[in-house]
Each structure stands twice: as structure tokens, then as C-alpha cells.
Amino acid sequence: MLKNVPLEPDALGRGTYSAIEGLRLLNFSRPGIPSARHVSRNTVSRWLRGYEHGEESYSEPLWRPDFSNEDDQIELSFRDLIELRFVKAFRDLGVGLRTIRDCYRRAVEEVRDDRPFSTQRFRTDGKTIFLDITEKDHDGKMIDLKRRQQVFRSIIEPSLRDLEFDASTVARWFPLGIRHRAVVIDPRRSFGRPIVQRGVPTEILAEAVKVEGSIEAVVGLYNVPKSEIRAALDFEHQLAA
């Protein structure tokens, strides 16, 4: 269940997700897309905070998150979450963190944005960029083209189609697919919590059905169509998988 998290003054419009919330959404895979390995909190922490290896060696974060992450807490914005979804795709390809870091830097240079994967440019030219920057791992070993094409076609391309853009950057994510817009994640609505089109969070609808015992009863309580309630239930079920 999504929980309230302390909001920074500039959190409005950016969405805000705790580590637990972010990981559940990051590991979400809608029906029709091949399932992939789940990413751990420790892995996300290494991506966003960097890490020490050896006494004098330190790897920088892939990027600086929108919100300050002090102590052991991780808080993500909507764009951080979208970026992580695509960084995870590199991991699913079997690319190591050093190579992921190199790929991210090259994507930043190519797209000219420090959040390259959540841009309209990447949506347009993503396949070319992806295949180019994943050609080799950090040791110079060639990564099979057929494998890279399959990862892009099965994971990255469908994920890009699930996004809606305003101007140059991502604005909304339809986790059940762009053709099934009943559930939306929009940082400008409900702080980025997954909601149905009528604006009610999916978790609230799912809990209401559990308590009331039927979809019909919840229709009257929240004035939400049955189709949206069913979509909320499908989403929450898949989110918990």
C-alpha cells in the first residue's frame, strides 16, 4: 500500500515515491510484456548514491535524484522513476553497472539532458541510441546484436509506448498500456500515486472492493465506472505479484 511520505517544498508536480513504492512500480510488468528480474533496493541505492569499492575508489551516482536522500532513505520523483525503468532494462540485458554507467553518460551526451531516457528525443531515436551504446561492455566485449534488438523490442519499446509526453519530457505513464488508459500515473495528480481516470487511487478502490465485497457496491461509494474499478483491481493484483 502506498504510504504518505514527507514532501519537500518543490515536490508538487514532480510526484514523490518512497523506496518501497518506487520499487513496486519499478518492478511492475504489465501483461503482454515478458517478465524480467526484480531490482533490489540495494541496486537502486548504488545507482542513485554511488558506492565505494576498495579503500580509495568511489563510483559516482548515475544522476542526482530530484529530492535529497539522506541517511538510509530513498525518495524518488516521477522522472527518477521513469529513468530507473530504462536503466533496469540494461540490467535485464545482463549489462554490468560499470557499463550501465558508461551507457548513461553517453545517452546524456547524445540527448543533452541529464534524464535522457524520459525525453521525447529518446522516444524518437531510442532504438538507435540503445543499440549503439550497448554494443560493447566495459571490457570491450561485443554484445550480441540479436539479443540487444530483442531487449529493445520486448522491454524498452513497449515501455516507451506506455508513456505520454508534454513538450520534450515525459508527463504521464499508463502502466496497463496506452490503449488501456483507465489507470494513470501522473505527477501532477495525487502526487503521482496510481489513479483511475476519475482521480481515485487504485489502492483505495482495491481496498474498498475487499471491504465492501463487490465492485457494484464500490461504484456507488466513489462514483467510478465498473470498468475503472476492474482496471484498478487488475493493476493492484499485478503490482503485488
Condensed to tens digits (0 to 9), the pLDDT of residues 115-173 reads 999 999 988 888 888 888 777 765 666 777 887 888 788 778 888 889 999 988 999 99
Residue type at position 123: R
Report helix, strand or coil for 108: helix
Which residue, among 31, 3, 8, has the nearest Cα to 18 in the 3D structure? 3
Report yes or no: 196 and 205 within 8 Å, Cβ to Cβ.
yes
Q: Is the predicted pLDDT of residue 196 greater than 90, yes or no?
A: yes
Report yes or no: 50 and 42 within 8 Å, Cβ to Cβ.
no
**Across 188-213, average pLDDT:** 95
d(C-alpha 197, C-alpha 183), whole Å: 6
DSSP assignments along 110-139, one per residue: HHTSSSGGGBHHHHHHHHHHHHHHTSB-TT
Q: Is the predicted pLDDT of residue 7 greater than 70, yes or no?
A: no
CA distances from 147 to 81, 151, 192 (A): 25, 6, 34
- Confidence tier at 69 by pLDDT (50, 70, 90): low
What's the predicted TM-score (pTM) here?
0.85
d(C-alpha 223, C-alpha 241), whole Å: 28
The HSE-up count of residue 180 (CA atoms within 13 Å, CB side) is: 15
Q: Is the predicted pLDDT of residue 108 greater than 50, yes or no?
A: yes
Q: Please report the pLDDT score of residue 46 as a whole number.
A: 86
Mean confidence (pLDDT) of the chain: 85
- Confidence tier at 1 by pLDDT (50, 70, 90): very low
Q: Please report the pLDDT score of residue 4 as a whole number.
A: 42
Backbone angles phi, psi at 182, to 5 degrees: -65, -35
Residue of higher predicted confidence among 142 and 216: 216
- Confidence tier at 92 by pLDDT (50, 70, 90): confident
Q: Please report the pLDDT score of residue 213 as a whole number.
A: 95
Which residue, among 93, 89, 121, 91, has the nearest Cα to 107 in the 3D structure? 121
pLDDT digits (tens, 9 = 90+) for 37-62: 788 988 898 888 887 776 667 888 88
- What is the percentage of the chain residues whose pLDDT exceeds 90? 39
- Confidence tier at 188 by pLDDT (50, 70, 90): very high
